[in-house]
Structure 1
Amino acid sequence: LFTICIGTCTSLESIKWNIYQGSDNSTSSNSTQWTLFNQTSSYENIWFFGTNTSNFTATDELFLNNLQISLWRFEVVYTFQSETSTSALNFIINQPPSNGSCSINPLNGTITTLFTIKCPNWYDVDGIQDYSLYTWTTDISQRIMIAFSTEYNFQVRLPAGDNKTSLLNFVIYVRDFLNSITQVNISSVNVIRDFAIINDLIDKVKTSSSTITNNPIVQLLSSGNQNVVGQMIISLSQELNQMNSENLDKAISNGIPAVDISVSLLGSQRLQQISIPLNESALINYNIELNSLANVRDYLVTFLTNLLITTSNSIILQSSSLAQLTQATNQLTRNTLMLVSNRCYELSAALYAMFEKISYEDAQSASNQLFQCASNILNV
């Protein structure tokens, strides 16, 4: 907030900002009871900056630590030699959705199982805009969007859970039309890999089989539904990334020096060269597997290039899918790089066109995924 002294201001002695909290939902100063917020000095230069200047800043910590307060008044007091002058602004803090719950069913399945998410009874005076589902295995900072819906009841397919426990964790963002969000943690579920379907897909891509369209995963990818396609691309990419890591470890253990292996995973530690005589057959097998999985990525990327770009959630989900698909940089073909590069550009252009109309958090989330995607393809 800033204030300007108008008129004769040479006798100005001091400026002071006061903060008040209101006791009801009215914006009328005649009916609202205002109480001085008495912790201003305690949080000087922590929550509040410039309390005695014309430019005053209150951080979001003030509101986050006082969620029960929806009405705030910021008052500036100018003190002159013979008089005082005041001016104030009232704010209504948008309250997040409330009174609802969320659940998931069943609690066990595979990457092709349909899980049902239900989030009934949520209320917000501004209306509920959408529900977004985020997942992670062990590190919540690595959570990624897996689905979004304007309906409180929707179905999803999930990536495999933790390698040891198969557990997958969730948080649902319930958002109103003014972008206020309530985060809801729901039960973890066990999701295991469906090796038969995954291996069938890999084999049919390898042999260019005409029956590939019979594969359940391909049928889902062919739906054109950005939620379904995004979910399957993320699931398959994580499986391919895991297989790539296992192949790299196997190659090293079979005596293949790191210098004879293609580019390692972006962000992974430098592979240690082992002084064991080169195992020619192991290197041949490694390259065969490498090319096989690269061809699968080459096949999968085609399902992402023509998806509709509709909302910020759409950009987040698609860019997350691309970031996962390009994580193993040693398995990216020239064709994959070209298609991913073009798609990242299209998503970036769409984000730029809408960034003034969406929340900061959405813009940041989409940007982070797009940066990761760009970083992957630039480090091939």
Structure 2
Amino acid sequence: DENENEVSIQTNMSHPIEIIIPRDPNIIIPPMILQNVTSMNYTPHNQLFDLHYLNITSSLSISIHFEIQSLNISLAYLFIYKFDQLPQLNTSINSIDGWTLFCPLNLTNQTSYTYFINNQQTSDHQSIIYGLRELNSTEMINTCSNTSISSLPITDQRFNFTSNYQLRIYTSVGPLTNHYETQCFSTHLTSFASGFVILPESINWNYIFANADFLKNKTIYLTVICVSIIYIILIIYARFKDKKDLEKLGVTPLPDNHQSDQYFYQIIVFTGHRQNAETNSNVHFIIYGDNDETHIRTLADSQRKILQRGGIDSFIMAVPESLGLLNCIRIWHDNTGKGSSSSWFLKYIIILDLQTME
């Protein structure tokens, strides 16, 4: 008290202490997430509610605050939920843990509907699945105009949203918690603090597989199919190119080699990169050495194209005996190629004696 004397306070679970903690005015409030539900009206489905899954597994008790803002504030909604299971509500089955109506008459100075689930309700549960349905004009007149209504507006018709809505979900302590202050309850006095935590929507595989038919997910299926087809085509194309590259790596024996010739030279030919550097003409050459010279030889390969732009082609030439120290090479082509493939740009050529490796 004002004399710094301890004040005795008796509390219990039914009459806790209420504490209001102002929030930091500089805190950035997470934005609401747009739910594009009108796009589903044109997709074949049998859903009565726009359903969402929320994981509430935690070592601490969690209370949940739902904030829903319609882009058309004149519309009314039915909100349902069920813990750990899929909520079902139609003329033949009523399997939900809670529900509420969002009517335009309930909006005073706010533009958002709010709903609160305390930590006593969420205890011993791992998840909550909630759903929202827009009421038609008849349901809205019958329910929102009657303040004492106690029955649910039940239908077997699939949902038909005429407007999208925005959604924000966060953990809170008391039902009066908002963007500016936190409401806390306690049965003992201690230090208190509060924060703003947005709960992510975890993946519920059971819900996904239960709603995995093609008609409900045409866009997803078509995207996966198209990506898979493109991937397979690219694999085939890449494999084809790999085989072509392997062919280029091979060493080709010259077709005019004689079986009796046992002295070998490797000839590596580099074709330039300039435009129209490749040739389809017949290329011939003569190599001159100190000891001997070759007869007219031909660069050819019956299995693949050679002397292509930017290409490196390797050949094995067989001769009767060593040519000795190589002096020069005379190389030419006969211009038999068609169009731009008649000429040839030879960048350089390497000749290697495979016996002496010189």
Which one has more relative contact order, counting CA pairs under 8 Å at least 6 apart?
2
Considering fraction of residues, name the structure with more helix: 1
Considering fraction of residues, name the structure with more strand: 2
Q: Same fold (TM over 0.5)?
A: no
TM bin (shorter chain): under 0.3
Structure label with greater radius of gyration: 2
TM-score between the two structures when normalised by the length of structure 2:
0.20
